[in-house]
Structure 1
Amino acid sequence: MIEASRLQPVELSGWGVRLVPLSPAHVDGLVEASADGDLGALNYTNTPLANVDAVSAYVQAALDGQAAGTMLPFTVLRDDGTVLGSTRYYDIDLSVPTLAIGYTWYRASAQRTHVNTACKRLLLGHAFDTVGMRTVYLHTSHHNLRSQAAIERLGAHRDGVIRQHKRHKDGGLRDTVCYSILDVEWPAMRERLEARLSP
């Protein structure tokens, strides 16, 4: 078991991106990011609709999770301050200790760039190297083939599928595809990710 003080809001940066603690001050930037590609209209993502009310509710729910100790949400920024999207730690269990990385989305213009690789390198490095997590999980919808491919490119282990696990935005049932990374697997994965991020 690790102390809760080891998993507090923090800024992580590198490879041209910054992960900063999610804040209501980011609402306008997140609305703009969601509108880039109309991401909120996708049924199988957690991206909020591109309006102030929806994004404000999204931010508040994440901050409620942070207050409860089950989440640690971030806003993803480019080095110039442009809001690219959001991601978070969730399902935090300090008694094992484990957590999941998810609720991840980026504006369309940042997709298929180095941004996701950089964010995962920062988040995984903090979780394993600084906090001392034993396992990190990643979950996605069975419909989200792009997300599954991105997770598999990281080198995460596909553990299986939880059938009829949650609901999509339209109320339809979602099967959740589950992946994991163990602490003993992290050093080799860290090397691969850094190699991919090298100029």
Structure 2
Amino acid sequence: MTELGTQLENCRLELNGVRLEPLGPQHADGLRAAAADGELWKLRITSVPEPQDTDAYIQTALDMRPGRFAFAVIDTLSNTVIGTTSYHDIVPAINRVEIGYTWYARSRQRTSVNTTCKLLLLSYAFETLGCAVVGFRTDNFNFTSQAAIERLGARKDGVLRHHAQRRDGTVRDTVMYSIMQGEWPEVKAQLRYRLQRG
């Protein structure tokens, strides 16, 4: 994971009509529209920005470098922003990253978009960055997210109790998952199989 910042800054990943590119101010209008598709900011278990907070959301993501690197998720056919995802809690010393801060427009949920994004990010993490492990975390009440992470083939590591504050001021438990380098070939094969079957 040497020269990680340079690698990620130049990272553009594309598959299946989906492109991941470094998130920046130029994506603000598209990200605002994606969040409005389903008024996602009203969900208490996500961190989707309200429309007026979109610019600050992007700036916060940029300010979190090098510990977080955010991507805009682009539909290549329409060239529109349909969501965002990130590498975060990046620890080069032990070759570890996590994937999170992920959300998509309501109309793109329960499609192949999430599987495609995860295949792209996991492939890059294990095969280019040389990660030993990739982690995931989610709210203990976000059962949809937990099911999606488990479908990837990630293993549940445990629960961090009273771990992080939600947008409504309550404090959540955080469910932690991971995929190890040795598990990646089977996880990759399963993700490709799911995409082939649509």
Give the TM interval when normalised to the shorter protein. Answer: over 0.9
* Deviation, structure 1 residue 6: 6.3
**Aligned twin of 1:40:** 41
Aligned length: 195
- Looking at structure 1, the residues matched to 54 and 85 of structure 2 have their Cα atoms a distance apart, in angstroms, of 14
**Aligned twin of 2:71:** 74
- Looking at structure 2, the residues matched to 198 and 149 of structure 1 have their Cα atoms a distance apart, in angstroms, of 20
**Aligned twin of 1:125:** 123
**Aligned twin of 1:57:** 56
Q: What RMSD over aligned residues (CA atoms) do the two structures have, in Å? A: 1.2
| Unmatched tracts of structure 2, length 5 or more | none
The residue correspondences of 1:87-106 to structure 2 (distance < 5 A) are 87-106=85-104
The residue correspondences of 1:1-199 to structure 2 (distance < 5 A) are 2-4=2-4, 7-9=7-9, 10-49=11-50, 51=51, 53-66=52-65, 69-80=66-77, 81-198=79-196
Change (3 A) 1:7 1:163: farther
- Looking at structure 1, the residues matched to 7 and 97 of structure 2 have their Cα atoms a distance apart, in angstroms, of 11
* Deviation, structure 1 residue 32: 0.5
- 1:62 corresponds to which letter in structure 2? A
Q: Aligned with 2:151: secondary structure?
A: helix
- Looking at structure 2, the residues matched to 27 and 90 of structure 1 have their Cα atoms a distance apart, in angstroms, of 20
Q: Aligned with 1:8: secondary structure?
A: helix
- Looking at structure 2, the residues matched to 29 and 5 of structure 1 have their Cα atoms a distance apart, in angstroms, of 25
Which piece of structure 1 moves more, 75-84 or 125-134?
Answer: 75-84
* Deviation, structure 1 residue 107: 0.3
- Looking at structure 2, the residues matched to 155 and 4 of structure 1 have their Cα atoms a distance apart, in angstroms, of 26
Identity of aligned residues (%): 47
- Looking at structure 2, the residues matched to 7 and 160 of structure 1 have their Cα atoms a distance apart, in angstroms, of 31
- In the superposition, the TM-score normalised over structure 1's length comes to 0.95
* Deviation, structure 1 residue 7: 3.8
- In the superposition, the TM-score normalised over structure 2's length comes to 0.95
| Unmatched tracts of structure 1, length 5 or more | none
- Looking at structure 2, the residues matched to 7 and 187 of structure 1 have their Cα atoms a distance apart, in angstroms, of 23
Q: Aligned with 1:193: secondary structure?
A: helix
Question: Does the 8 Å CA contact 2:4/2:129 hold for their aligned counterparts?
Answer: no
Q: Aligned with 1:150: secondary structure?
A: helix
